[in-house]
Amino acid sequence: MRHQSIRAGVPAHIHGMRNVTRLLFAQLLLALFINSTVGVGIARAREATPQGPVVENERLSMFVRLFTPQQMAAFYEARGFPKNAIERLGKTCFLMAHVENRSDGILWLELKNWRFVTAEGELQRLDRHHWQTVWDEIDLPQAKRSTFGWTQLPEVRDLQPGEPVGGNLVLPRTGETFTLEADFLSGENRRQGRIQVRFKDLRCAEDAPPQ
């Protein structure tokens, strides 16, 4: 009953925004798939874009995918991003994460509780503040900033039962393998336990060599 009252108290426009986010994320997945297969061939696209691991249990489902600079450039170029923005994005490592709450309570996605660890130390995620600074430097139009923003994974999201969320995370490009350590708190007050998810041996995707 307590959980039902929480859902009833969420304003309708918030639910609407989340529905829009789901639609945009689905469009992102489709666009990235199309961009990854056109021109390079399905086999090469699969090789260039590791499918990545999946974690599934009774409490959550989560998968990650890594995209090449060429794939991300194609996606943002199709949305009118200028060359200087594409160049800055191309120097980074794009990882897409998708999480679905399979429990009967609230699951908290909070990126402050996620770490990206290599043998040499921790990779510092290039967060929204970082990109605002970059966009200021190149004077990126506000419309393009908004487009980039909706493709990113939210910093904080209270996932209701059955609710999914997905988006990109951007890291400094590295040739090392790394581990994603994603911790989720649960319950209305974040006090009903911690769920720990680990994805090991991830690697930034590289563009396929020219034929």
Residue 138: CATH number of its domain: 2.60.40.1150
Residue 209's pLDDT is: 83
- The token duo for 69 is 């600079």
**Residue 137 sits in which domain range?**
2-202
Residue 7's pLDDT is: 37
Question: What are the b/e assignments for 55-78, b being 16+ CB within 10 Å?
Answer: beeebbebbbbbbbbbbbbbbbee
Point out the residues of the chain with pLDDT beneath 50: 1-17, 19-23, 26-27, 30-50
Distances (CA, A) of 159 to 114, 184, 197: 16, 10, 16
Residue 53's pLDDT is: 78
Question: Which DSSP symbol is given to 113?
Answer: G
Over residues 111-123, the pLDDT tens digits come to: 999 999 999 999 9
47 located within any domain: yes
Integer Cα distance of 182 and 116 in angstroms:
9
208 located within any domain: no
CB-CB contact of 109 with 156 (8 Å)? yes
Number of domains the chain contains: 1
195 located within any domain: yes
Over residues 18-66, the pLDDT tens digits come to: 544 444 554 455 444 434 433 333 333 334 444 557 899 999 999 999 9
154 located within any domain: yes
Distances (CA, A) of 160 to 24, 60, 141, 143, 168: 19, 11, 34, 30, 20
Integer Cα distance of 139 and 159 in angstroms:
34
Residue 35's pLDDT is: 43
43 located within any domain: yes
Integer Cα distance of 4 and 1 in angstroms:
5
- Closest by CA to 59, choosing from 168, 193, 167, 188, is 193
The helix (H) or strand (E) run that includes residue 73 is helix 69-77
92 located within any domain: yes
Q: Looking up tokens 């999914």, which residue turns up?
A: 164
Residue 29's pLDDT is: 52
Q: Looking up tokens 């059955």, which residue turns up?
A: 162
94 located within any domain: yes
210 located within any domain: no
N residues, the chain: 211
